[in-house]
A and B are shown apart, each in its own frame.
Chain A
Amino acid sequence: MAYKYTVKNHTYHFNDLKTLMAKATPLRSGDALAGVAADTYEERVAAQMCLADVSLTTFLNEAVIPYEADEITRLIIDTHDRSAFNTIASFTVGALRDWLLSDAADTRLLQQLQYAFTPEMIAAVSKIMRNQDLILAAQKCEVVTRFRNTIGLRGRFSARLQPNHPTDDAKGIAASIIDGLLYASGDAVIGINPATDSPAHVHRLLHMLDELINRFSIPTQSCVLCHITTTIELIAQGAPVDLAFQSVGGTEKTNSSFGINLSLLQEAYDATLSLHRGVTGNNVMYFETGQGSSLSANAHEGVDQQTCEARSYAVARHFKPHIVNSVVGFIGPEYLYDGKQIMRAALEDHFCAKMLGVPMGMDVCYTNHAEADQDDMDNLLLLLGVAGCNFIIGVPGADDIMLNYQSASFHDALYVRKALQLKPAPEFERWLMQHEIIDAEGNPLPVKHTHKLLQHVF
């Protein structure tokens, strides 16, 4: 179906829904690179005005990637909650925006509507929202998950402890873990990006994390972020896997380029679930997403990068993950050019994921060839804290020495908790207090060299 919108004497034509959505997207380098972005500022706003008038039911009748051609489209349509959708079926995209911001849309109602929304509806509404709209609406979406602790409760803010090392040296990794724990990070997960994906190697790291968590009875979970097929293999060998990890994308072709599909994810989910290693719950998956992955895999099918990203949340939510994060600034300036684009994309990703029921966190990060610095990250971190983001990635001194990019530091996590009076996950908070790492107000306590954790690696 074609769409058109007239501004003064000029009528803009948009051939189909995916074209309209791409043209309506706030400016970012990736859409320009893909050749799907609006040519002028006027065309962009014209597309947004046109999109605001599109009925939500249109999204059920016009798929951006055909049902027959893409298993993610099939997943979205087949799991759509028609009865819940009936309450919002009369809405246009514009009306949905106004309703989301009204007091009528409360946390409980939004939770009931998670499967009434499709990723495309939510991507569309995000395109006509300002940053403050994305923050206010996301704030209402509480997505709580459990494994050995509880992540995503209102008033809480967690951190993944990312202790990477360029050669995966066990002592080097342990040193960063101790540093992170003593800075009150690590409740979302202690998650290592290994330098190589070899199963024996991953196995060794999993055991090391398992021993550490058991020895100090830390109410958290571990993950070694390798390919899902490696994890499946290791589970069969009896490895101590808490969370199974995989990067996921929003088109079937993107996932093929990652070497995965929905049935492989199902296999990993079932295998990990069968280990019953959770204590407070059994959310066993960890997914990473990020705008630009479909384009970089040449698998975007003419769909803009933010809509592709929102579609990846349909994949994520299907497997009831414990945590999901967008690696927002990691992928480089050809997708998100500067601090402004990174910030906008992060707020979009967080909003869209939460609306769809995904326990969203963020890697607040950038590479050195992007127009961004720590000031941009400070701003973004605070905005995400206000928006109710579940967790961030925490890296020693914000400098990942294996992946060569800058993320948030352990100090940064403490900063956002202090500035916004947020606390770690409740079980982890109790553990931190028991071990005299923080006081009841959440302030870090001086740690003596006789501290139990410091006896571990010496």
Chain B
Amino acid sequence: MTEPQQHITQRDEWGALRSFTAARIALGRTGVSLPVGQALDFKMAHAHARDAVFSYLEKERIFTALQMFQLPVFFIHSKASDRQSFLQRPDLGRRLDEDAVVKLKNFKSKGYDVCITIADGLSSTAVNLHAVNVLALLMPMLEKAQITVAPFCIAEQGRVAISDETGNLLRAKLSLILIGERPGLTAADSMGAYLTYCPVAGLTDEARNCISNIRPDGLGYQAAAEKMFYLVRESLRLQISGVRLKDNAGLLDL
């Protein structure tokens, strides 16, 4: 947006410094205040971040897309009943509600290598945009390596640790979750992937490996899928995850 009243606002003479940083520098001023264009740009960035936090997981669309992998799909929910309680009570977002527990228990799992959960986290937008695209690249790699995959779980109001419970109930050796990250002003659609070996409720962060900033302008789909595949394979081979499992991808041939 252009400034409507160039003669009132004071431009900053150091605009060239913007080539060194993405920080909001040399914004100019009217009096001591932000010019209108800058003020509204900031609001728009914040609006994108807020909309991402309150966006809904497009679970039907994701369900339909997942049919290409010919695996069962479960819709599950955390103990956090709505967004407000999800935000205030992270402990509830980490656990499955009773329905979900029953559903997953009733599925007579024969045991799998990997359980993949897709959860809204703090930005459904991120998952809506990126989860299926990354899986479309990852799933063939897993299949080729003969790594078996449990039914998919699509989890609402879920935090990262919810996958410890889904993986455990579906008797998977390893749990992988694709989840929306806390949105920043420059990126409201960043997806994260977390992986735990031998998942069980109550594990903490040192038991996890994390791949973050998955989005076209961050870590691209292909690179993200390769990184996930590498970590899955190494985790299964070494039977560990978390701080002891180092990401040495790139040092090996894939």
Contacts and interface: CB of A to CB of B under 8 A. Distances in A.
B17 A32 contact: no
Interface stretch (A8-16, A226-234, A306-314, A393-401): A393-401
B179 to A, nearest CB: 13
A458 B182 CA distance: 36
A182 B12 contact: yes
Interface string A22-45: 000000010011000000000000
A63 to B, nearest CB: 28
A107 interface: no
A449 interface: yes
Of A369, A443, A451, most buried by chain B (CB within 10 Å of CB) is A369
A234 B183 CA distance: 35
Contact of B185 (A165, A337, A399): A399
Given A368-B183, A368-B184, A368-B185, A401 B14 contact: no
A66 interface: no
Contact of A449 (B14, B22, B87): B14
A397 B24 contact: yes
B186 A401 contact: yes
B34 A33 contact: no
Contact of A369 (B14, B22, B53): B53
Nearest to A454: B14
A169 B20 contact: yes
Of A333, A334, A397, A457, most buried by chain B (CB within 10 Å of CB) is A397
A333 B182 CA distance: 12
B55 interface: no
B122 A369 contact: yes
Nearest to B188: A368
A178 B182 contact: no
A299 to B, nearest CB: 14
A397 B23 contact: yes
A369 B53 CA distance: 6
Interface in A348-403: 367-370, 373-374, 395-399, 401
Of B14, B27, B122, B182, most buried by chain A (CB within 10 Å of CB) is B14
Nearest to B25: A179
A415 interface: yes
Nearest to B87: A333
Given A179-B26, A368-B185, A415-B32, A169 B42 contact: no
Contact of B29 (A373, A398, A411): A411
A175 B17 contact: yes
Given A176-B25, A399-B23, A401-B186, A334 B87 contact: yes
A238 interface: no
Nearest to A457: B17
Interface string B80-96: 00000001111100000
Contact of B25 (A367, A369, A396, A443): A396
Contact of B88 (A164, A334, A417, A457): A334
A404 B43 CA distance: 15
Interface in A416-458: 417-418, 443-444, 446-449, 451, 454, 457-458
Contacts of A401: 21-23, 184, 186
B23 A172 contact: yes
A398 B88 CA distance: 25
B50 interface: yes
B105 interface: no
Contacts of B42: 374, 397-399
B182 A369 contact: yes
Given A33-B89, A334-B88, A176 B21 contact: yes
A200 B42 CA distance: 35
Contacts of A414: 32
B16 interface: yes
A367 B188 CA distance: 12
Contact of B21 (A175, A369, A405, A411): A175
A163 B23 CA distance: 8
Contact of B20 (A373, A405, A457): A457
A29 B91 CA distance: 12
A239 interface: no
A369 B126 CA distance: 14
Nearest to A419: B32
A179 B17 contact: yes
B14 A179 contact: yes
Given A175-B23, A374-B42, A411-B29, A334 B17 contact: no
Nearest to A446: B10
A171 B25 contact: no
B138 interface: no
Nearest to B122: A369
A368 B182 contact: yes
B103 interface: no
A411 B34 contact: yes
A175 B20 contact: yes
Contacts of B38: 397
Nearest to A35: B91
Contacts of B43: 374
B246 interface: no
A454 B22 contact: no
Contacts of B12: 179, 182, 447
A33 B94 CA distance: 13
B205 to A, nearest CB: 12
B244 interface: no
A33 B91 contact: yes
A174 interface: yes
9 contacts: A173-B21, A175-B14, A334-B90, A369-B122, A397-B25, A399-B186, A401-B23, A401-B184, A411-B29
Interface of B: 10, 12-14, 16-18, 20-27, 29, 31-34, 38, 42-43, 45-46, 49-50, 52-53, 87-91, 122, 182-186, 188
Given A396-B24, A397-B25, 12 more contacts: A29-B88, A163-B23, A164-B23, A176-B23, A333-B88, A396-B21, A397-B38, A399-B45, A401-B22, A404-B184, A406-B185, A444-B29
Per CB-CB distance, the 9 closest pairs between chain A and chain B, nearest first, are A397-B24, A404-B184, A172-B21, A414-B32, A179-B25, A175-B17, A368-B49, A449-B13, A396-B23
